[in-house]
Chain A
């Protein structure tokens, strides 16, 4: 599996996702700078977490208009896998690759903790290695992870099975206790129509190896490698 990681000014999970991609696939990802206008031929593009351009406007709003994102959109349109994690999710919604938006957490505070996620669909390269309905534990770390969209969009996402992950409580049920940011319908991650583009707030790269004390994120990367190699 060949991969690329986009590096915006202020990206800070670019190295983390690159390490996970490399360990899972055995190939070093291409690190592509935001000012670049070309992308190497890759199977998956990661838009990493962080604070692109400081996120001083709306999170991801500046990055969505950077030179490299034009190329990312072209590739996404051709069916190349594009995953946005955390700030990457925000960027993908701002870029129009995914519907909805991510606003300030309901608490108005940044939150870093490990949350429960229910895998809502295994029909994607990202989630194929999980069992449908499986509950996994993955860390979040964000101030703006509160997913919003109009009801019609939310109904469509649910109706078409495009919700990838949902926040759940300790008993594995979606509710306010398990939801760290107030996201609509406890949505933690969504797909585009073809399930080739994924956006999610939690960080699977932070639950990747035994040192992290939790390896629930490993299957995310292994699934990708299996599907794309």
Chain B
């Protein structure tokens, strides 16, 4: 229906805007005053909606931005750092890897299946928007205590949702992590990462250019789903969380798959000026960001937006978070060519506006103007907060003698640890993900410390991992922040790849509480220091705050997605023992640190003490040494020491291969040696004849090294006469999750 014929009576009626209405939109009174000052009048309802999403924590990073500046974001191999849809690094031969991790925590708690599915869809779009074909997905999941009544249902829904989306679009899900802690009872975390591949000289950015150029909408139609998702994600949960289900979007991976193919086909031409996906805050944030970056104005005619439902108002269209939509600026006169591609893939294509030189954001529909705002303030005058911080008190050291007081044998402790929720096999999860589509997967979950995917058509491989130890971050945010980065670096190193860059996904509680803001600030400080020391810059990221329910915050969880490069994917090293009779070596120094260890928690029921400190110089020396060994072809298996320490690491290497190990030479080692979580360490195997030479080489490099034992047999023989068959280890490791999900265990 054209505007001219629409009777006045059927025009959408907009409510009157007041400070109360603004507050309902998440705009605080002082922010509303700032808004009035900028706009110079009372905004319309549509304008209020637009301001509320653009100034939400989710879109504006208003609490986090001042801290994030500490991150190193450049390196000779960084093509594009934070600020675009995803980060871009040079991987040689004219190729670039493009990647980012993003949270979908709030939606996944409210509606796990669709929340997680659309999390995957959103991060895929961030990556292919920049011209990359997505080649791998990872996900980092955190759930509440298994005994909490919601946990089982959240796991089932989130895993099915991730699988549903990733499997259908045909991008392999190759890695990730899953942890449990009661602090996540009211807020699960779903952090999804996508890695893509593009020609280094064909990267697409979001900055609009060219007054008069057409603004083009492609993909799915717009419906009423997801309205105010960004605002919802910027607030704490309370009793009425369930009522927020309508703010969760619904995903359609089939359309996403078509959108990938159509966008990449159009990107092979030179018709596109700039492109941006419609993610959080949909059409509003995509159009404001594109025009804002280009210093231009934009005028949209909403009558031309493809709509799934009738009677949608301008407010609803601008705030919808319907999925699988993209906005792009085309070069003049290229519309027909672009339209043909999208029609071939049966996708909507519509010119919905033009770029202007007015600097204004103008929204028209039914022949009327519903929004006429100066654009720049929406984009760059959001409130910026340096919120008060409170330092987390340092944890007292563990009392002397903790290790001997346990009275639990090494065997019993090991079986309990590898069967506990955090360390139990996650096979039940990753078998629901297609990890092999695209036929370039070298290593996936469970086979190596980092997933390795070949760069299609080359010998090169990308090593991918996601890491953070939230209990460390909670005990000491600074050390925990360092450790998260160091562990990602270590996991990439353990397969033999050179770590290149990270994406971060900062999940925290309510930043208005000084204790939480202090966690954030110190985690960032620790991460930034580690990134600098390890030449591992941050190229993209996402912040998710307000992960609290009824005042209870999650553990500080700055998830790190690490990416590295190995020149020949076939030479990457897995974690399973390769052959019997090989020497098992330990690289790195063991002090027996048990503070915040899993052993302490699972065996003694204590969550105290300081986390293990990370010496970044040592970290680097040990890791560089291992990478050199792998490059020389000496290493047959390698595994970093993390949760559960030495004995758990060796058990994992045995379980992955079916080959046992003799560690009886360790003698009467105590819990600190067997289960301590000292950092910067790796277990590796080398052919027995090379062991002495490798250890001599370590000594010369200033790297602590020791022989732990020998691979072989079908049992793990440990200190003090410990004897466990690999079969028994596997049973203990594989049992928990399937039994729990089947409802056979209370948790």
Contacts and interface: CB of A to CB of B under 8 A. Distances in A.
A54 B254 contact: yes
Contacts of B255: 54
Contacts of A20: 439
Contacts of B257: 9-10, 12, 51
Q: Which of B168, B170, B434 has the most CB of A within 10 A?
A: B434
B180 interface: no
A206 B346 contact: no
A110 B454 contact: no
B254 to A, nearest CB: 3
Nearest to A17: B439
Contacts, number: 81
Given A51-B257, A110-B163, A203 B346 contact: no
A56 B258 CA distance: 15
B154 interface: no
Nearest to B453: A211
B168 A9 contact: no
A213 B444 CA distance: 11
A51 B167 CA distance: 9
A20 B432 CA distance: 25
Contact of A13 (B346, B437, B441): B437
A111 interface: yes
A23 B276 CA distance: 37
Given A13-B170, A51-B254, A111 B346 contact: no
Interface string B155-169: 000001001100111
Contacts of B169: 12
Contact of A139 (B346, B433, B436, B438): B436
Nearest to B441: A212
Interface in A171-208: 203, 205-206, 208
B569 A9 contact: no
Contacts of A210: 570
A79 B453 CA distance: 38
B639 interface: no
Given A9-B345, A9-B346, A54-B254, A109 B160 contact: yes
B170 A12 contact: yes
A109 B570 CA distance: 32
A16 B345 contact: no
Interface residues of B, number: 31
B252 interface: yes
Contacts of A55: 168, 254
Given A12-B169, A51-B168, A110 B438 contact: no
A54 B432 contact: no
Contact of B433 (A9, A112, A205, A212): A112
A110 B432 contact: yes
A211 B434 CA distance: 17
Contacts of A213: 442
Main secondary structure of the interface of A (DSSP, over half): mixed
A212 B440 CA distance: 7
Contacts of B442: 211, 213
Nearest to A54: B254
Interface in A72-95: none
A220 interface: no
Contact of A15 (B431, B438, B441): B438
Contact of A112 (B168, B254, B435): B435
A206 B439 CA distance: 6
A51 B442 CA distance: 24
Contact of A141 (B346, B436, B569): B436
Contacts of B430: 112
B88 to A, nearest CB: 23
Given A9-B254, A10-B257, A112 B170 contact: no
A19 interface: yes
A9 B258 contact: yes
Interface string A50-77: 1101111000000000000000000000
Given A111-B431, A211-B442, A12 B254 contact: no
Nearest to B454: A211
Interface string A91-135: 000000000000000000111110000000000000000000000
A100 B436 CA distance: 27
Contacts of B439: 15-16, 19-20, 205-206, 208, 212
Contacts of A12: 168-170, 257, 437
Contacts of B611: none
Contact of B434 (A9, A53, A112, A205): A112
A212 B252 CA distance: 30
A143 B257 CA distance: 18
B253 interface: yes
A50 B439 CA distance: 13
Nearest to B171: A12
Interface in B657-685: none
Interface string B250-264: 001111011000000
Contacts of A13: 170, 437
Nearest to B452: A211
B462 to A, nearest CB: 13
Contacts of A111: 431-432
A10 B438 contact: no
A141 B432 contact: no
Interface in B425-463: 430-442, 454
A15 B258 CA distance: 15
Contacts of B437: 12-13, 16, 49, 141
A54 B431 contact: no
B76 to A, nearest CB: 29
Nearest to B437: A12
Nearest to B430: A112
B434 A54 contact: no
A10 B569 contact: no
B436 A206 contact: yes
A207 B468 CA distance: 33
Contacts of A205: 439
A5 to B, nearest CB: 13
Contacts of B160: 109
A24 to B, nearest CB: 13
B436 A53 contact: no
A16 B346 CA distance: 24
Contacts of B254: 9-10, 51, 53-56
B432 A112 contact: yes
Contacts of B164: 110
Interface in B316-350: 345-346
Nearest to B447: A213
A34 B436 CA distance: 24
Contacts of B570: 210-211
Contacts of A212: 436, 439, 441
Contacts of B252: 54
A203 B346 CA distance: 28
Nearest to B170: A12
Contact of A54 (B168, B433, B438, B441): B168
Contacts of A203: 436
A85 to B, nearest CB: 12
Interface of B: 160, 163-164, 167-170, 252-255, 257-258, 345-346, 430-442, 454, 569-570
**The 3 residue pairs across chains A and B that have the minimum distance between CB atoms:** A12-B170, A54-B254, A16-B439
25 contacts: A9-B258, A10-B257, A10-B258, A12-B169, A15-B438, A15-B439, A16-B437, A51-B170, A51-B254, A51-B257, A53-B254, A54-B254, A55-B168, A55-B254, A110-B164, A110-B433, A112-B435, A113-B431, A141-B436, A203-B436, A206-B436, A206-B439, A211-B454, A211-B570, A213-B442
Given A50-B170, A54-B253, A203-B436, 19 more contacts: A10-B254, A12-B169, A12-B437, A16-B438, A51-B167, A51-B253, A51-B254, A53-B254, A109-B160, A110-B432, A110-B434, A112-B167, A112-B435, A139-B436, A141-B167, A141-B436, A206-B436, A208-B439, A212-B439
Interface of A: 9-10, 12-13, 15-16, 19-20, 49-51, 53-56, 109-113, 139, 141, 143, 203, 205-206, 208, 210-213
